[in-house]
Structure 1
Amino acid sequence: MQKLILPAFAAATLALASCGGGAPKEEKKDSIAIGSENKTATAPQANVLTTEETAAGWKLLFNGSNLDGWRIYQNKPSNTWGVVDGTLHCTGSTTDKSDMRGDLLSNDEYENFELETDWKLAPQGNSGILYLVTEEFKAPYMSGPEYQLIDDENFPEKLEDWQKSGANYAMNPPSKLAAKPIGEWNHTRIVVNKGHVEHWLNGEKVVDTQMWTPEWEKAKKTGKWKDYKGYGSAKKGHICVQDHGSEIWFRNMKIKSL
């Protein structure tokens, strides 16, 4: 199959990589087959909105073919994000901690919205979906709250409750563990509406919280974010998917403004 090379920007080339982490080993690392999700005859097509969704105001964040609408945070060079078999894919490595790793940022900003996506992780993986991200700091997590994505069962370090899948990272632990076994697809829904935040995982609401209240301010000032004054302060910002050195796949990523 022919490799799809993405156009460079800000001196960066977003390279293509393999689909693994629970996928069959025979898939070639350098190949791309857009839309070849091995669907059954009745399975819905990935990365396509229904007529009803379009009428309701949904828009695709990822089109399944290329990285249109995305760029690396602060336009830094990166070679870890690409498109593989209709999925948005980040390469994984236990040794590559170079400056060529980078978080992927939506071009557009969102204030009040509902976001949905499917995702799956490689074993021992760690990633996240951040929102209300601004680019005034060194890293996205310094401004944007994070919906945590992690291998709850096999991560090589001890996890606090606020680090587990579905958590509002370092602020609100998930009310239950709802992630599917590693290698299977999960479905995430994030709702942000005038500071009211909901995290859903596989149909379960796992976080329900309100930003910018006295309780929220106390949790920020006494926890991990006490030295990050910009954390959670923006009322509008970018969507960001995290490159944490782990292999991860996304599909069916869509968003609707509220």
Structure 2
Amino acid sequence: MAVLFASAMTPAAQAQQGPGPWTPLFDGKSVQGWHNYDTPGKPVAGWTAEQGLLVRSGAGGDLTTDKQYANFELELEWKVEKGGNSGVIYRIDHRGGKSYVSGPEMQILDDAVHPDGKNLLTSAGANYALHPAVPGLNKGANEWNSVRLVVKGTHVEHWLNGKQVVAYELGSADWETRRKASKFANAEMYGRATRGHIALQDHGDRVYFRNIRIRELP
């Protein structure tokens, strides 16, 4: 007769194998938990809480989480004004200088008007300059778009409005080929960090965010 062995893991250890709890990254009233890129501890400039929305309202640089993350699932909603451009940049290593030198970016864009919308590699939802977006999912200017970003180990997924638009493996042969053919060919720190800050990009345009939350993954 076969003997079934119970798991040796304790309930606490088993619980650690699953994702952590969802944590809001924006309280709807302030920019607490964030700082402008490379200026932790200083008052945030250019980003404001307005009527429950997080808004890029002026110059200030990328808005960066105080905390660093390794493996995580991030959800948020965004909208841009006509011709607007922004992005979600993740696993940023500050030694790289600018955020996008080390951190991959999920593109935020008004595809219909901005010139980058003519190329799927730089359209909304793309892994900017490396992996193309799926066309036709972006709702356009002044419309809310939902994002789900999954980063676990070397695996990354971009979801836009309920559809997976990008999936890739950091450091894979395919990823290296794409990186070397892109603007990041000489950026040796790009995509190398195993943990880092998350940033909302200041690209000079007015952008709105809401319902920003994250949970850490094992």
CA RMSD of aligned residues (A): 1.8
What's the counterpart of residue 155 of structure 1? 114
What's the counterpart of residue 88 of structure 1? 54
Does residue 252 in structure 1 map to residue 207 in structure 2? Answer: no
Shift, 1:156, TM fit: 4.7
Question: Which of 127, 147, 151 pairs up with 1:188?
Answer: 147
Question: Which of 236, 242, 253 pairs up with 2:195?
Answer: 236
Shift, 1:138, TM fit: 2.3
Output the amino acid matched with 2:147.
Answer: T
CA contact (8 A) 2:20 2:216 kept: no
Does residue 62 in structure 1 map to residue 38 in structure 2? Answer: no
Identity among equivalent positions (%) equals 40
CA contact (8 A) 1:101 1:245 kept: no
Q: For 1:108-127, what per-residue CA distance to the aligned partner results, in whole angstroms no more than 9, with x for missing partners?
A: 11111100001110100000
What's the counterpart of residue 126 of structure 1? 85
- Number of residue pairs aligned between Structure 1 and Structure 2: 197
Q: Secondary structure at the match of 1:83?
A: strand
CA contact (8 A) 2:117 2:124 kept: no
Q: Secondary structure at the match of 1:198?
A: strand
List gaps (5 residues or longer) in structure 2: 1-18
Distance 1:158 1:112, change over 3 A: closer
Q: Secondary structure at the match of 2:176?
A: helix
Shift, 1:137, TM fit: 2.4
Task: Identify which of structures 1 and 2 has the higher relative contact order when contacts are C-alpha pairs closer than 8 Å and 6+ apart.
Answer: 2
Shift, 1:155, TM fit: 1.2
Q: Secondary structure at the match of 1:219?
A: helix
Shift, 1:65, TM fit: 0.9
CA contact (8 A) 2:36 2:45 kept: no
Q: Secondary structure at the match of 2:67?
A: strand
List gaps (5 residues or longer) in structure 1: 1-54, 93-99
Question: Which of 60, 65, 75 pairs up with 2:39?
Answer: 75
Q: Secondary structure at the match of 1:75?
A: coil
Structure with max Cα Rg: 2
